[in-house]
A and B are shown apart, each in its own frame.
Chain A
Amino acid sequence: MLSGISTVCFVSSYLVALILESTRLFFRSSARGAVMWIFAAGGVFAHTLFLFSLSWNSSRLPLSSPYEWYLFVAWVLAIAYFYFAFAKPRAVTGLFLLPLILVLVAAAQFADRTPSERTGLLRGWITAHSVFLLLGTAVVMIGFAAGTMYLVQVYRLKHHWPLNSVPRLPSLEWLERINSRCVPLSMLLIGGGFATGLAINSRFLQDARDRLAWTDPAIVSLGGMFAWLLVATIFNRCYRPAQKGRKVAYLTLASMFFLLVALGVFFFSVSEHEMSRPVSGVHVGNEFAIHGLVPPVERRVT
């Protein structure tokens, strides 16, 4: 039964939920909330089953390929959307979160699906590395969505828009709370991912040829992102005006910029990192190797 579930199932559910969220900008409906919730729940359910079936069918640990990694980040965001929709049912939180989910699922389609062959202790470290970065990425994206909502809400209040005008958003205090939690949490998670990556690169890869150079774009971009998050967390904790208001939202928006740079490095294959294995015809990579067109490109793991 699980083999019948494809990305189309949950993508269409999320898409319908997004369309329904968008209609909130134009008209009221008493039944829409329930229908939207059903589609979102259906999407999360199908998404969960799909991820489960991926691991089940291949008899591997989850997160074995970049493809799965993107889908897992999207899944965590979908859970977050579910929480937002439950906590703030009248706010159009889906307009800010669902597009991120759909972009991640789309990115997954262009990511490499070849599972990593690493086993044993190294496999465990790689999984920890992936989980840290996965959760860190999701938290940064949640912070970005909350930060964007915060700035839209500030704009509405400062420009004296009628209070009943759309879009309806959560209170500034609530959004600020989400933002200020996302900054240190993302620092810890990305820091964990970066540290495990460094440990893998320096201690666990036996073959020197597998190791990444310390100047590899993957290490530099991830290190830069971690440094930014560290500075942002210190700034947030030590400078009182940065604990409240728009400054926290700006911090989360800047974090998203660093995340996009880091993801760009992996996505556009400018690194030697395993996650940078391309799929499209532009790059010669393992997708072609799978189809027996060219020999697989040997990539290294951070």
Chain B
Amino acid sequence: MKLQMVGCSHHNAPLEFRERLAFTPSSTAVALERFREQFPQAEAVVVSTCNRVEFYTASDREDPYPSHQQLVEFLAEFHGLDAIELFDQLFERNGEDAARHLFTVACSIDSMVVGEPQILAQVKAAYRLASQQESTGPLTHSAFQAAIRVARRVTTETGIHERRISIPSVAVCDFGRAVFETLADKRVLVVGAGDMARETLRYLLEEGARDITILNRDRQRARSLADEFGGSVAAWDELLTRLVAADVVVSATGAREPIITLRDFQSIEEARNQRPLAILDLAVPRDFEASIGDSLGVYLCCIDDLQATCQRNRQMRDKELPRALSIIEEETRSFMTDLYHRATGPIIRRLREGWQAPKDDELQRLFNKLPDLDDAAREEVRVAFDRLVNKLLHPPLESLRIESRHGIPHSLLDAMRRLFQIRD
């Protein structure tokens, strides 16, 4: 019974390397199919995100099962890379370590942003895809279902996912939601089309924003962002006009001077009728003059305000980390015990079968000798025999269960085979 993981993550491999090793959903399907051709008895799941590429394999048989070297060679061949180079960058986890690692990943403890919620969805998607490709089996089913359960438990029992620690998420989800109940019916104006704007757009969509307009000096970049996230594009010289109608403004340009001064804002203030306006100024240097925040109905937050919140949230998450780790540890132990106990399954089954036949023979002999027994009496006798067998089997099975806590109990299994004359 084996569980193995070979992969890389943001902890040990640079982005360029992760990009070369990354799988798309379609290439994952092809890779899993080829893997099954090479190792028909093994199970496999590929978790590929922007921060990690991990290839999980499992099998309840010893052979043929891919070794670490074979797995690296398989990945190298699939991506057309040099296997020697891959050896240096990939890390490996086996057995209990592999299970613990999977749980840690699913709970987002191993993520670049600890507690970010996307990773669980990505793990689920990876498991679903592998199941569709029929490359999963009893072991990977158990491991991934346990990982999903552990992630849920960590979410419920700790506050690790409650605090956001990236600036765009705090800006949209905490600041935006402190002003507005929902973003679904709000006009959102995104000024700039860089990485920060892109990241913020992701959170805006998650929070339900639908009416999004993107403004950028380079209209082409604004257009490509609008195509990616859905939304309209406006010309740069419409900035003030758009500001009149906006409810939420996200500004993340690379401008060296404020793009909206207090005087600019005062020129449109009357037209706004003091309607609330949340301005998320994520630019450095700032895009909006700080004094605009004193205007009636305007709630302006800059990157320094958000960073202070992120810092506090990070500290609060750190406090929750030991509890999350102890849940992972507890669940790993429980999972491994189940796994080890499962290895004893065939022996238990044969043991039960071995006792079943003499029991049935003895029952038949008894019923032949006592032909006057009615159905109720026969049933009572049958139940009594079953109970006797179960009671006799209980001590050895209990010993197996206890011994399984620390690994597959090979010596005990061997002893039972010899004691009860169980043959493969």
What is A's interface to B at a CB cutoff of 8 Å? 28, 30, 153, 156-158, 160, 162-165, 169-174, 176-177, 240-241, 244-247
Over the window 295-320 of chain B, the binary record of Cβ atoms lying under 8 Å from chain A Cβ atoms (1 yes, 0 no) is: 01101010001101100110010000
Given A163-B170, A164-B163, A164-B174, A244–B276 Cβ distance below 8 Å? yes
Given A158-B293, A158-B299, A160-B301, A244–B274 Cβ distance below 8 Å? yes
Tell me which residues across on chain A come within 8 A of B273, comparing CB atoms: 240-241, 244
A172→B180 contact, CB < 8 A: yes
A160→B305 contact, CB < 8 A: yes
Over the window 101-131 of chain B, the binary record of Cβ atoms lying under 8 Å from chain A Cβ atoms (1 yes, 0 no) is: 0000000000000000000000000000000
9 contacts between A and B (CB under 8 A): A157-B178, A157-B299, A158-B299, A163-B170, A173-B180, A241-B274, A244-B297, A245-B275, A245-B276
A171→B296 contact, CB < 8 A: no
What is B's interface to A at a CB cutoff of 8 Å? 157, 159, 163, 170, 174-175, 177-182, 273-276, 293-294, 296-297, 299, 301, 305-306, 308-309, 312-313, 316
Q: Which residue of B lies closest to A241 (CB)?
A: B274
| 8 nearest A-B residue pairs (beta carbon) | A163-B174, A241-B274, A173-B181, A163-B309, A174-B181, A171-B181, A240-B273, A157-B299
Q: Which residue of B lies closest to A171 (CB)?
A: B181
Minimum distance in angstroms from B247 CB to a CB of chain A = 9
B157→A164 contact, CB < 8 A: no
Q: Which residue of A lies closest to B180 (CB)?
A: A173
By CB atoms of chain B within 10 A, which of A28, A153, A160, A247 has the most? A160
* Bound-complex Cα distance A268 to B316 (A): 50
Contact among B157, B179, B316 for A172, CB-based, below 8 A: B179
B313→A173 contact, CB < 8 A: no
Given A244-B297, A245-B276, A171–B178 Cβ distance below 8 Å? yes
B299→A162 contact, CB < 8 A: no
Contact among A165, A177, A244 for B275, CB-based, below 8 A: A244
* Bound-complex Cα distance A160 to B316 (A): 19
Q: Is the interface of B mostly helix, strand, loop or mixed?
A: helix
A164→B178 contact, CB < 8 A: no
* Bound-complex Cα distance A245 to B269 (A): 14
B170→A173 contact, CB < 8 A: no
* Bound-complex Cα distance A160 to B290 (A): 12
Q: Which residue of A lies closest to B157 (CB)?
A: A30
B293→A171 contact, CB < 8 A: no
Tell me which residues across on chain B come within 8 A of A177, comparing CB atoms: 181
B179→A245 contact, CB < 8 A: no
* Bound-complex Cα distance A158 to B179 (A): 11
A164→B276 contact, CB < 8 A: no
Tell me which residues across on chain B come within 8 A of A173, comparing CB atoms: 179-182, 276
Tell me which residues across on chain A come within 8 A of B293, comparing CB atoms: 158
Contact among B179, B313, B316 for A157, CB-based, below 8 A: B179
Contact among A28, A157, A162, A169 for B309, CB-based, below 8 A: A162
Tell me which residues across on chain A come within 8 A of B275, comparing CB atoms: 244-245
Tell me which residues across on chain A come within 8 A of B182, comparing CB atoms: 173
14 additional contacts (CB under 8 A) given A157-B179, A164-B316: A158-B299, A162-B312, A163-B170, A163-B306, A164-B312, A171-B178, A171-B180, A172-B299, A173-B180, A173-B181, A176-B276, A241-B274, A241-B296, A246-B297
Tell me which residues across on chain A come within 8 A of B316, comparing CB atoms: 164
Tell me which residues across on chain A come within 8 A of B296, comparing CB atoms: 241, 245-246
B312→A172 contact, CB < 8 A: no
* Bound-complex Cα distance A115 to B83 (A): 93
* Bound-complex Cα distance A173 to B276 (A): 9
Tell me which residues across on chain A come within 8 A of B170, comparing CB atoms: 163
* Bound-complex Cα distance A171 to B182 (A): 9
* Bound-complex Cα distance A173 to B184 (A): 13
A162→B308 contact, CB < 8 A: yes
Tell me which residues across on chain A come within 8 A of B297, comparing CB atoms: 244-246
* Bound-complex Cα distance A220 to B206 (A): 54
* Bound-complex Cα distance A249 to B134 (A): 61
Tell me which residues across on chain A come within 8 A of B274, comparing CB atoms: 241, 244-245, 247
Q: Which residue of B lies closest to A165 (CB)?
A: B312
* Bound-complex Cα distance A244 to B296 (A): 10
Q: Which residue of B lies closest to A176 (CB)?
A: B276
* Bound-complex Cα distance A158 to B305 (A): 11
Tell me which residues across on chain B come within 8 A of A165, comparing CB atoms: 312
